[in-house]
Chain A
Amino acid sequence: MTRKQKRLAGIGFIALVLAVAVGLVLVALRDEIVFFYSPTEIIQEQKAKSGQRFRLGGLVKSASVKKEGTTNSFVITDTNSEIEVSYTGILPDLFREGQGVVAEGVLNSSSVFIADSVLAKHDETYMPKEVADSLKKQGYWQQNPDEDSKSK
């Protein structure tokens, strides 16, 4: 090979690796990302089909937490709509009724959300950002009304 051909081969190889990287990213962005929805977006706007993986966020409804063996069930509400969640495993330390929570999993055919991970806030003053935002959207979040009206 001449020097020019070598250089072209080199550039070609680099371009190939970059193309593979871009391709992988595009495929992964199409298939491997998880959307965040509030109960209203699921029930009224039907944003997710059953079997599709998503994150569900809202407040844990008061007096809805039940435990049977290692399976926990509770209701996530955004005060407008609510969805029943079933989760096998250990709930986070800061999981409380009336507090913000995010669950990840799929909706089964009988409209129960089967979660495989449940996240609660990290300390007692902190609400997951997604939950706070979606509650604001429902007009429920009253902690900072000025900011709310500004953002609209």
Chain B
Amino acid sequence: MIVELGHYTLVLALGLALVQSVVPIIGARIGHFGLMRLANQTSIMMALLISFSFGALTWAYVNSDFSVVNVWQNSHSLQPYLYKYSSVWGNHEGSLLLWVLFLAIFASLVSVFGKNLPPELKANVLSVQAWILVAFLLFILITSNPFERLANPPLEGNDLNPILQDVGLAIHPPLLYFGYVGLSVTFAFATAALISGRLDAAWARWVRPWTLIAWVFLTAGIAMGSYWAYYELGWGGWWFWDPVENASFMPWLAATALLHSALVMEKREALKIWTVLLAIVAFSMSLLGTFLVRSGVLTSVHAFATDPERGVFILAILVLFIGGSLALFALRAGVLKSGGLFAPISREGALVFNNLFLTSALATVLVGTLYPLLLEAVNGSKISVGAPFFNLTFGPLMMPLLLAVPFGPLLAWKRGDLLAALSRLYLAAGAALLAVIITLAFTTDAPVLAALVIGLAFWVMVGAFAEISVRTDIRKNGIAKAFARAFGLPGSLWGTAFAHFGLGVTLLGIVSVSVFETEVIQEMKIGDKATISGYQLTLKNISPRKASNYNEDIINFEVLAPGGEKFVMQPAKRIYTTRRMPTTESAINTSGFSQLYVSLGEISENNSLTVRMWWKPQVTLIWLGSLFMIFGGLLSLADRRLRVGAPKRAARASKVESEVTING
């Protein structure tokens, strides 16, 4: 019954979405406030209805109701409770329901927090969001209904794919989806601005926090997914340039660019048209990601079901929204007036530089991801585009950008002074130089390029705090006063510093692990020893263990660290009983920022097995850096100038401003 109610509320939500996609926008056209206000109620109602629907599906999973096809296919009564919950989105239908739920939540957030928005803008935004909702609700109800029933319910379910039964993967999709869908808000704002032809600083004030929220979640989702792939797949890699990874990385690149260009628009009223275009591109990348992952055109863990009908449907949504918004852009972009002249060397110039390189990099990733699909469609040849392609294209484009990162915040708006900025970066330059020299002196076989990139990482890390050090000026003010000043600095300034610092940290981790990693593959029996980077591993014994939905053989290693301390590592071979599917659980030991990683092959009859060991120096910095980026994003969000009340003041300010210009 609850399941049917969930289905019913989803249909009801579609009805409301249809109303909301037409009525408020007409209201905005004819200036009828009643019609415009309707969206406030419908968007909140929709969020509640879809929440109920999602709750109903979750209920079916938690209670192992195998009369529901979706539950039967992806769950098992003996699964731990965490995975009963995560199974809800560990499959095609459920994950789309989660997508739509977030979409509805974002729409309702706009209507709740948007009390101060100009009513026409708000009505248009909510209508555009309803268009997206209609498309995806139709998609779910027509091709991917999670509430379908089985006539003769089986007693037991098919279990969730074992490699998805992991804490990392339980939280990775919701984080990523929240980021993906968060970009729909910016998209709706951009489309609404194009429809009404009005775009002011208040608009940018609204767009930036929403982009920031989406960006924070995207960053978290991607980092989580990367760490999951690292420890769960047992290949020891943290990024494979797999199309599915690219699908999440492209919206991130676009959102990062948008974050920076919205800054220019908010502060200087420049780059308006470009910002609108980026907002469209960012959400288009989200849609493209959803298409690539959900349509089954790609071979991956994420391609749950290859159903041509679904692929065509998503493709239609993709073409409709991307094509439609770009056409609207082409028609209406001319209406938006751009202002705010600036010199090439200025804060604006630096942010344009950032956008230029980020979008070029985005374009190369896009080409690398889509080229195999295109080539196969054209002449049938099958190719794969992997790490070598992206190292040659994406890598070189990132270097000038990273070099420029510390300069950006030090340049003044309108007209900046490059030499003055450089003179404030002497500490960063010194740190970078020192890092290069130390790397070259203390490593024997490190390539010069690696040493340079390590220098670049320190340049970015130390340079990130240059603006704060200039503003507080410890030498002139003394420690106490400098501290007081530091606390008084706006949150967004600290946010920038931490996010840029995190970028440097991630870069340091990437170079370090790519260049200095060591690897040993060895066939081992009980009692055998292996040595890697000063660690000595002894295979002690193999102990079997039974868990609720799998059996495993735990391989016990005793490890002697170079410092003399001893610890145990326990990688395991598992067999999930329902699907008879084997998986390998690797073992990881962290010391400092580095990790010792042990993965296993199959156990042969004479109890010998292939053991693959890696020493991964500073590998955790890769994800630690992303935590700094997230922290930076949150600090920026907490900035009082960006708080919910703030847009009101901004709106008033811009009104005053425009009055002044009229009077002047």
Judging by beta carbons under 8 Å apart, are B386 and A25 in contact? no
Is the beta-carbon distance between B610 and A122 smaller than 8 angstroms? no
A-B pair count, CB < 8 Å, reads 108
Q: Which residues of the other chain, B, contact A129 by a CB distance below 8 angstroms?
A: 299, 306
Query: Chain A residues near B381 (CB, 8 Å)?
Result: 35-36
Point out the residues of chain B lying under 8 angstroms from A70, CB to CB.
521-523, 610
Looking at A20, A25, A88, the one whose CB has the most chain B CB atoms below 10 A away is A25
Q: Complex Cα distance A138/B211, Å?
A: 50
Answer yes or no: A94 CB below 8 A from chain B CBs: yes
B301 touches which one: A6, A29, A67, A122 (CB < 8 A)? Answer: A122
Is B427 positioned at the interface, with any CB of A under 8 Å from its CB?
A: no
Chain B CB within 8 A of A27 CB? yes
Cβ-defined contact, A123 with B579, below 8 A: yes
Q: Does A63 contact B (CB under 8 A)?
A: no
Tell me the smallest distance from the CB of B3 to a CB of chain A, in Å.
25
Q: How far is the CB of A99 from chain B (nearest CB, A)?
A: 13
A124 touches B382 (CB 8 A): no
Contacts A90-B600, A130-B382: A28 and B610 contacting too (C-beta < 8 A)? no
Contact A128 B299 (CB under 8 A): yes
Contact assessment for A25 and B301 in the assembled complex, using a CB-CB cutoff below 8 Å: no
* Alpha-carbon distance A67/B388, docked complex (angstroms): 30
Which residues of chain B come closer than 8 Å to A33, judged between CB atoms? 371-372, 383-385, 389
> In the complex, which residues of chain A have a beta carbon less than 8 angstroms from the beta carbon of B396?
20, 24
Q: Does B363 contact A (CB under 8 A)?
A: yes
B582 contacts partner chain A, Cβ-Cβ < 8 Å? yes
Does B260 interact with chain A (Cβ within 8 Å)? no
Q: Are A91 and B344 in contact (CB under 8 A)?
A: no
Whether B581 and A6, one on each chain, are in contact in the complex, defined by CB atoms closer than 8 angstroms, is: no
With A32-B392, A88-B521 as contacts: A133 and B364 at CB distance below 8 Å = no
Q: Could you tell me the distance between the alpha carbons of A128 and B301 in the complex, rounded to whole angstroms? A: 11
Give B355-411 interface residues, CB cut-off 8 Å to A.
Answer: 356-357, 360-361, 363-364, 367-368, 371-372, 381-386, 388-389, 392-393, 396-397
Judge whether B599 is part of the interface by a CB distance below 8 angstroms: yes
Answer yes or no: B580 CB below 8 A from chain A CBs.
yes
Quick check: is A9 within 8 A (CB to CB) of the other chain?
yes
- Confirm or deny: A10 has a beta carbon within 8 angstroms of a beta carbon on chain B: yes
B343 / chain A contacts, CB cutoff of 8 Å: 6
Find the B residue at minimum CB distance from A6. Answer: B344
Cβ-defined contact, B610 with A130, below 8 A: no
Cβ 8 A contact of A124, one of B356, B357, B580: B580
Residue of B nearest to A93 (CB): B582
Known: A24-B393, A29-B389, A91-B601. A14 touches B356 (CB 8 A): yes
How far apart sit A130 and B522, CA to CA, in the bound complex (Å)? 32
Counting CB contacts under 8 A, is A43 at the interface? no
CB pair A35 B393 closer than 8 Å: no
- Interfacial residues of chain B within 590-607, with CB under 8 A of chain A in the complex: 599-602, 604
Neighbouring A residues of B234 by C-beta, 8 Å: 90
Judge if A136 is at the interface, Cβ distance under 8 Å.
Answer: no
With A and B bound together, what is the CA distance between A75 and B248 in angstroms? 36
Contact indicator per residue, chain B 565-589, by CB within 8 Å of chain A (1) or not (0)? 0000000000000011111100000
Bound-complex Cα distance A104 to B386 (A): 11
Query: What are the residues of chain A within 8 A of B299 when measuring CB–CB?
Result: 122, 128-130
A34 to B387, CA, bound (A): 11
- Encoded as 1 (CB less than 8 Å from any B CB) or 0, chain A from 91 to 108 comes to 101100000000010000
Contact assessment for B393 and A90 in the assembled complex, using a CB-CB cutoff below 8 Å: no
B549 within 8 Å of A (CB atoms): no
Contact B523 A122 (CB under 8 A): no
Other-chain residue from A6, A24, A35, A133 in contact with B383 (beta carbon distance below 8 A): A35
Enumerate chain B residues within 8 angstroms of A27, measured Cβ to Cβ.
392
Q: Across the interface, which residues of B come within 8 angstroms of A123, CB to CB?
A: 161, 579, 581
| Chain B residues within an 8 Å CB radius of A35 | 381-383
Q: Per-position contact with A for B336-357: 1 when CB-CB < 8 Å, else 0?
A: 0000000110000000000011
Asked whether A36 lies within 8 Å of B383 as measured between CB atoms, the reply is yes
A90 (CB) vs chain B CBs: closest residue: B601
> Are A24 and B364 in contact (CB-based, < 8 A)?
yes
B579 touches A21 (CB 8 A): no
* Known A6-B344, A27-B392, A129-B299: A67·B604 in contact at CB below 8 Å: yes
Q: A18-B360, A33-B384, A89-B610 are in contact. Are A25 and B393 (CB under 8 A)?
A: yes
A89 and B582 contacting across the interface, CB-CB below 8 Å: no
Give A3's nearest chain B residue, CB to CB: B341
Interface string of A114-138 (1 = CB under 8 A from B): 0000000011100011100100000
Q: Is B38 an interface residue (CB 8 A)?
A: no
Q: Does B163 make an interface contact (CB < 8 A)?
A: yes
Determine if A28 and B389 form an interchain contact, defined as CB atoms under 8 angstroms apart: yes
Instruction: Output the least CB separation between B164 and chain A (Å).
Output: 9
Q: Determine if B300 is an interface residue (Cβ-Cβ < 8 Å).
A: yes
Q: Which A residues are in CB contact (< 8 Å) with B149? A: none
Q: Is the CB of B612 within 8 A of A89?
A: yes
Flag if A25 contacts B364 (CB, 8 Å): yes
Decide: A91 and B602 in contact? CB cutoff 8 A. yes
From A29, A31, A69, A124, contact of B523 by CB (8 A): A69
Shortest Cβ distance from B609 into A: residue: A90
Contact (Cβ within 8 A) A28 B393? yes
How near does chain B come to A71, taking the closest CB pair, in angstroms?
9
Residue of B nearest to A29 (CB): B371
- Among the interface residues A70, A93, A130, which one has the most CB atoms of the partner chain B within 10 A? A93
- Least CB distance, B608 to chain A, in whole angstroms: 9
**When chains A and B are docked, how far (Å) is the Cα of A89 from the Cα of B599?**
10
Q: Is the CB of A24 within 8 A of B612?
A: no
Minimum CB–CB distance from A27 to chain B (whole Å) comes to 7
In the bound complex, do residue A17 and residue B357 qualify as a contact, i.e. CB atoms below 8 Å apart? yes
Chain B 495-523 near chain A by CB (<8 Å), digits 1 or 0 = 00000000000000000000000000111
A22-73 with Cβ < 8 A to chain B? 24-25, 27-29, 31-36, 55, 67, 69-70
Bitwise, B124-165 to A at CB < 8 A (1) or not (0) is 000000000000000000000000000000000000010100
Q: What's the least CB distance linking B613 to chain A, in Å?
A: 11
Q: Which residues of B contact A31 (CB under 8 A)?
A: 388, 392
CB distance from A41 to the nearest CB of B (A): 10
Question: Which residues of chain A are within 8 angstroms of B612 by Cβ–Cβ distance?
Answer: 89-90
CB pair B356 A17 closer than 8 Å: yes
A123's nearest neighbour on chain B, judged by CB, is B161
Q: For the complex, give the distance between the alpha carbons of A69 and B582 in Å.
A: 22
Q: Which residues of the partner chain A approach B384 to less than 8 Å between Cβ atoms?
A: 33-34, 36, 55, 104
Taking a contact as CB atoms under 8 Å apart, the answer to whether A28 and B392 are in contact is: yes
A116 to B465: give the CA distance in the assembly, Å.
43
In chain A, what residue has the closest Cβ to B367? A25
Please measure, in the bound complex, the distance between the C-alpha atom of A35 and the C-alpha atom of B379, giving whole angstroms. Answer: 13
For B383, what are the chain A residues with a Cβ–Cβ distance below 8 Å?
Answer: 33-36
Q: Contact at B389–A32, with CB atoms within 8 Å?
A: yes
Task: For the complex formed, measure the closest distance between the CB of B383 and the CB atoms of chain A, giving whole angstroms.
Answer: 5
The residue of chain B having its C-beta at the shortest distance from the C-beta of A69 within the complex is B523
18 more A-B residue pairs beyond the given contacts A24-B364, A88-B521, A94-B581, with a C-beta to C-beta distance below 8 A: A6-B343, A20-B397, A24-B392, A24-B396, A27-B392, A28-B368, A28-B389, A29-B385, A33-B384, A70-B522, A90-B521, A90-B610, A122-B299, A122-B300, A123-B579, A129-B299, A130-B382, A133-B382
Leading 3 A-B pairs by shortest Cβ distance: A36-B382, A90-B601, A32-B388
A-B contact pairs, 11 of them (CB 8 A): A17-B360, A20-B397, A21-B363, A25-B364, A29-B367, A33-B383, A70-B523, A90-B612, A123-B161, A130-B299, A130-B382
